Structure 1
Amino acid sequence: MASGELHIGQFITQYPYEEQFSGADDYFCSGAERVAKQLSEELAEGDCNVTVCTSSATAEYTTEKQNGVTIERSPSLTKINTTQISPTQIVDPITKGLDFDIVHAHNSTPPGVIAGWLYAKCNDVPFVITHHGGETYEPHGSFSRRVGLFIYTKVLINSLFQSADIAVSPTEGYIQESSALSHAESVTVIPNGVDVDQFDIGVSNEEAKRKLGIDPESFLVLYVGSLHPRKGVDVLLDGFTRFHEIHSDTKLVIGGNGSLKNDLKSTVEKRDLSEVVRIPGFIPESEKSMYMNAADVFVLPSITAGSEVYPLVLLEAAAARTPVIASRFDTIESVIGPNEMGSFLEPGNVESVVNELKRFYDDEEMRQETTENAIRTAHNREWDVIAKQYHDLYRSVLE
């Protein structure tokens, strides 16, 4: 096919700017936004013309180009929690006369997915949704946030999925957990991807530790992500504290920002673990590869079911040849279990954290086996492989 023959409209509430992940940024983008970016750029390298309809960090409408992808940003008036409020985002793609063969909306936070649905309805084009989560009502934050989220999760979301030509779940396990997916006429599984080259940086585990100022002989436990209660990082710290009492040659790095950050730092000081536990705050993409390569095991201790649909950090750890320990939820089990790239925690259970850390510390053969499985899994999830699956899906829907 000729270059640009298939014109895809990607709809998402927020989409990364250039250098978005080089440092902390007020324009919030996390896993779903990174997936949309990687997928859009990979598709644009092929025979697709890709336009992303999203919000701006400013009060102006802008059009920009990133790595072959056209980005149409609607003006934002304010922000609720981490979500840009761009009232015209819902109608701008229609009023600007944008022309798409197919709409692919990423469901994370509204109104991006609503804008995609409305465009597809008004222009009679196929409508595909990838479900990144965000269907559970969490009653915290400002009044405006709670009202908006209540309306979306309790009233709108099921109708949106019902109207989709096909819905995509990143994992088989999430199909079992999700109410919204049960309303879709058709559901398929396409996993998230990873850029293996970004994490295969050619340094040994010991060299990576030295570069980070960590004892190269130590056993390093790593967490990278948001520091919110649902992530269970306080449970990890409690478990690691007991683990460290057994094995004094162990270290812990907790990377990220969030509401628990100060509490975690206070706990570390009270327990006199400042030389053992490092909480550096947000870890930029430019540094994440080094941390992943330095780690002997990566831990994802989430305690809320449905909060993890397909965490990208699992693939990033795998690409760095780092085995993982993660909470036993259907979504996570369907990533780690079949690929045998790690083990499982009982969510919220400190003793389970201790036991799994001890297993990986004591059993070098198991660490090596899971390491080999991890890198093999990462290679099977490279973005060119994932983009081809989406391209084939678009073609099947159009036909």
Structure 2
Amino acid sequence: MTTDDLRIGQFITQYPYENQFSGVDDYFCSGAERVAKRLSEKLAERGCSVTVCTSSATSEYTVEKQNGVTVERSPSLTNINTTQIAPSQIVNPITEGLDFDIVHAHNSTPPGVIAGWLYAKWNDVPFIITHHGGETYESHGSFFRRAGLFIYTKFLINSLFQAADVAVSPTEGYIQESSALSHAESVTVIPNGVDVDQFDIGVSNEEAKRQLEIDPESFLVLYVGSLHPRKGVDVLLNGFTHFHEMHPDTRLVIGGDGSLKKDLESTVEERNLSDVVQIPGFIPESKKSTYMNAADVFVLPSITAGSEVFPLVLLEAAAARTPVIASRFDTIESVVGPNKMGSLLEPGNVESVANELKRFYDDDEMRQETTENALRTAHNREWNVIAQQYHGLYRSVLE
């Protein structure tokens, strides 16, 4: 068998539709789903036959072709929180006669990874899992969400990783944090990737600010992501407020949606920062590159350990030549630290946020050095490179 003959089954609970990230969509997809999409497409470009087994946004079974990838979507009965519930996703890959040489499941939320495990077990083919997180039980949301996650995280997830021929961690740091990975027979590190060309938009930092109607002479701080408590965006806003008091020529953009959005908007209004802080809501992919290029520094202030395995926004900022400030967790430190692409702050610490922002504001030489390191890191993690690493892993497992 040559490498180009590989028949790969990618299993994930949800998988992006075409133009998924052009605006708000009820069919939820985040980092893990974007990773599965770009990896599948790059593997298809290499000549592999790639089929994705996932859920539908509707109650209908569909098969479609996306950029060389066959996407089989099982009908969904309902959704719990942001997760589509498609029971037939577990059955169809077994009964419909799909023929794979290797199964690659993405662990984010069940049942996609369970469907992959069942196919591999019943058809006696190698089974690989990429761990995107989601092994920690979080007691919020509806009763059905809490019950489902409790069963999965307490009784199922370790057995799934124990059954894998190889488990993949996107960062070295997550191997230290993850309980599930400790049950795997073999663990390897393959990072997430980025499309550098998408963020090389050919405009200067100042011009990008003008396009966003932001003062081109200002120092712009950027956050893009969900606005939920675990992300620590309120800590960022408080830290920026102190920083702005010392440096009035600074601006902050908080992009995204979530449960904290209204509280953040109220805080901005109460502090008379409406001319300084923008909260534009969801930022579509078509505009994200401009925001990343306009930023002088990108901040990821997460406060919950394990919630960030390998945030794609770190690489996206790097591809736009923007240094990063991120929380000091093992997962993040293993990306930012060795590559010297930014600095680390103490999670949940307002003073630490203000201090790190001031460091980048005051030190042009450090900002330039981290900018160069960030871009080099992004080039080393382009999706073509990452797909080649996965391709090599598949071949070594089959051999």
TM range (shorter): over 0.9
Identical positions, percent: 86
User: What are the Cα deviations for residues 328-369 of structure 1, in whole angstroms up to 9, with x where unaligned?
Assistant: 000000000000000001000000000000000000000000
Is the counterpart of residue 61 in structure 1 residue 61 in structure 2?
yes
**Does the Cα contact within 8 Å between 1:2 and 1:47 map onto a contact in 2?**
no
User: Which residue number corresponds to residue 349 of structure 1?
Assistant: 349
3-state DSSP class of the match of 2:104? strand
User: Which residue number corresponds to residue 262 of structure 2?
Assistant: 262
In structure 2, runs of 5+ residues without a counterpart are: none
1:147 maps to a residue whose letter is A
3-state DSSP class of the match of 1:268? helix
User: What are the Cα deviations for residues 243-300 of structure 1, in whole angstroms up to 9, with x where unaligned?
Assistant: 0000000000000010000000000000000000000000000000000000000000
The separation in 1 between residues aligned to 2:294 and 2:47, in whole angstroms, is: 38
Is the counterpart of residue 216 in structure 1 residue 216 in structure 2?
yes
User: What are the Cα deviations for residues 116-164 of structure 1, in whole angstroms up to 9, with x where unaligned?
Assistant: 0000000000000000000000000000000000000000000000000
Is the counterpart of residue 331 in structure 1 residue 355 in structure 2?
no
User: Which residue number corresponds to residue 180 of structure 1?
Assistant: 180
User: Which residue number corresponds to residue 300 of structure 1?
Assistant: 300
1:15 maps to a residue whose letter is Y
Query: What is the CA-CA distance between 1:95 and the residue it aligns to?
Result: 1.1
User: CA 1:3/1:177 → structure 2, altered by over 3 Å: closer, same or farther?
Assistant: closer
The separation in 1 between residues aligned to 2:231 and 2:296, in whole angstroms, is: 20
Superposition pairs for residues 245-394 of structure 1, below 5 Å? 245-394=245-394
The separation in 2 between residues aligned to 1:5 and 1:366, in whole angstroms, is: 47
Query: What is the CA-CA distance between 1:3 and the residue it aligns to?
Result: 8.5
User: Which residue number corresponds to residue 232 of structure 2?
Assistant: 232
Query: What is the CA-CA distance between 1:47 and the residue it aligns to?
Result: 2.4
3-state DSSP class of the match of 2:159? helix
3-state DSSP class of the match of 2:213? coil
User: What are the Cα deviations for residues 160-191 of structure 1, in whole angstroms up to 9, with x where unaligned?
Assistant: 00000000000000000000000000000000
2:285 maps to a residue whose letter is E
User: Which residue number corresponds to residue 39 of structure 1?
Assistant: 39
Query: What is the CA-CA distance between 1:2 and the residue it aligns to?
Result: 6.6
Query: What is the CA-CA distance between 1:4 and the residue it aligns to?
Result: 5.2
**Does the Cα contact within 8 Å between 2:3 and 2:395 map onto a contact in 1?**
no
3-state DSSP class of the match of 1:386? helix
3-state DSSP class of the match of 2:338? coil
User: Which residue number corresponds to residue 143 of structure 2?
Assistant: 143
User: Which residue number corresponds to residue 82 of structure 1?
Assistant: 82
User: Which residue number corresponds to residue 122 of structure 2?
Assistant: 122
Q: Which moved more, 1:140-149 or 1:84-93?
A: 84-93
The separation in 2 between residues aligned to 1:6 and 1:87, in whole angstroms, is: 28
3-state DSSP class of the match of 1:192? coil
**Does the Cα contact within 8 Å between 1:3 and 1:49 map onto a contact in 2?**
no
User: Which residue number corresponds to residue 132 of structure 1?
Assistant: 132
The separation in 1 between residues aligned to 2:48 and 2:266, in whole angstroms, is: 51
User: Which residue number corresponds to residue 28 of structure 2?
Assistant: 28
| Runs of 4+ more than 6 Å apart | none
Query: What is the CA-CA distance between 1:96 and the residue it aligns to?
Result: 1.1
User: What are the Cα deviations for residues 299-319 of structure 1, in whole angstroms up to 9, with x where unaligned?
Assistant: 000000000000000000000
The separation in 2 between residues aligned to 1:364 and 1:4, in whole angstroms, is: 48
User: What are the Cα deviations for residues 39-68 of structure 1, in whole angstroms up to 9, with x where unaligned?
Assistant: 000000012100000000000000000000
The separation in 2 between residues aligned to 1:362 and 1:37, in whole angstroms, is: 40
2:132 maps to a residue whose letter is H
3-state DSSP class of the match of 2:339? coil
Superposition pairs for residues 153-172 of structure 1, below 5 Å? 153-172=153-172
TM (norm. structure 2) is 0.99
3-state DSSP class of the match of 1:70? strand
2:304 maps to a residue whose letter is T
In structure 1, runs of 5+ residues without a counterpart are: none
1:257 maps to a residue whose letter is D
The separation in 2 between residues aligned to 1:77 and 1:247, in whole angstroms, is: 53
The separation in 2 between residues aligned to 1:382 and 1:28, in whole angstroms, is: 25
The separation in 2 between residues aligned to 1:343 and 1:148, in whole angstroms, is: 37
The separation in 1 between residues aligned to 2:365 and 2:96, in whole angstroms, is: 59
